Amino acid sequence: ATKLILDLDTGIDDALAIAYALGSSEVELIGITGTYGNVKVDDGVRNSLAITDLFGHPEVKVYRGLPHASAAESFAVSDISRLIHGSNGIGDVDIPDSSREPESESAVDFIIDAVKTYGKDLVYVPTGPMTNIDAAIAKAPEIINEIGAIVLMGGALTVCGNVSPWAEANIDQDPDAANRLFRSGAPATMVGLDVTLKTLLTYQQTQRWRDLGTKAGNFLADMTDYYIRAYEVASPHLGGCGLHDPLAVGVAVDPTLVRTFDLNMQVDVQGATRGRTIGDNTRLNDPVKTMKVAVDVDARRFLNEFMTRITTLAEQ
Ligand code: BDR
Ligand code: CA
């Protein structure tokens, strides 16, 4: 099976991404690396440990990543993040803390070691800021050519951002890191808002989880209902909540879920548009394209996979 690392700022859709990965027998989740964003890094790590326990997978190791953006000295959770993900990141739902601790190895070293061990069999899926992978590449630049694939949730090619007219939240947290990654030549697929806002979940589906009558089902339903309520307030025109992070996992498991466009990308790091993902005009005519940008998704098929995999996981 393909080896998978999830790099998460464990909020609600990150938690759903964990469930999707654990429900996918095509991949083996070999570790979760923690980042900051929806919550502080330590809170995200705590959530990841608790959630993997709740889903019956205490073997999944969790590694602490860097606590703030590459060019910053600290990080604070924004009011918007709290509104969307709750103050604990998982919709203010209480689940038991894990008795496990994060691993002593850092997220950055674990990423490098995993590339050395698994090479092309490794897929790395960041669904928060790109700070950890950026630091890993700075420390061991050769991993760019050794890693199997990077499937990232972030950015937007043909639509607006979500924290500003230009910027999507994950890229906005650390535009410099994302820009270095995009221009590094690493084989990355960008799963941005163009596609994730076409994959929506409603109360109809969360009720199916509640009806399971299991701890995992109740947790998924209560947590995700919080997220849907937040979307009803922030983006009522959508009619559901965006399955951003689970779609990145979906694409890592089955790339045919999306249609992609080969394009060398960059991130604006200066001026008013800081955080915008855009074609790199110095490499547009380069015959070698190192990135793929998702431009369309088979939303029905994805939603079906999403519900089947997560519901089966939550049945136990
Ligand atoms: C992304 O931002 C975070 O709030 C979500 O978890 C997702 O990764 C969507 O822009
Ligand atoms: Ca996320």
- Tell me the CA–centroid distance for residue 26 and ligand 2, in Å: 22
pTM above 0.90, yes or no: yes
Q: What is the pLDDT of residue 316?
A: 86
Decide if 16 contacts 246 (C-beta within 8 A): yes
Protein residues near ligand 2, an ion, with CB under 5 A: 9, 14, 127-128, 245
Q: Smallest Cα–Cα separation from 273: which of 134, 158, 188, 168?
A: 168
In the numeric block, which tokens belong to residue 28? 């083996």
Mean pLDDT by 10 residues, the chain (316 residues): 98 98 98 98 98 98 98 97 98 98 98 98 98 99 98 97 97 98 98 98 98 98 98 93 98 98 98 97 95 98 98 96
- Tell me the CA–centroid distance for residue 38 and ligand 2, in Å: 7
Beta carbon of 180 within 6 Å of any ligand 1 atom: no
Name beta bridge partners: 267.
277
122-126, strands of its sheet edge to edge: 62-63, 27-34, 2-8, 122-126, 149-153, 188-191, 291-297, 258-262
Q: Mean of the per-residue pLDDT values for the chain?
A: 98
